[in-house]
Amino acid sequence: MGEGERPATRAVVGSNFCDVAIVADPRTGRAVCLSALDNLGKGGAANGIHNLNILCGWSERTGLEAPPVYP
């Protein structure tokens, strides 16, 4: 993500990543934190894959870290 860009869901869809940006609001003098994530991989299916990885002695991240679908 480049400077000044806001996080977008399309950049993380299908992945286990979260894009985060901090933007300064000069009017109020506050920092605003924005994030985008695809939380479909955070439920029972991902938990099942994680448990299978542990059971089989594989890396706990196997099958859970896919690149985003958006190019």
pLDDT in tens, 20-35: 999 888 899 999 999 9
Q: Hey, what are 63's tokens?
A: 């099958």
Please tell me what DSSP assigns to residue 58. Answer: -
pLDDT at residue 2, as a whole number: 52
pLDDT at residue 33, as a whole number: 92
d(CA 24, CA 70): 27
For residue 37, the cross-strand partners are 18
Q: In the structure, what pLDDT confidence band is assigned to residue 4 with cuts at 50, 70 and 90? A: low
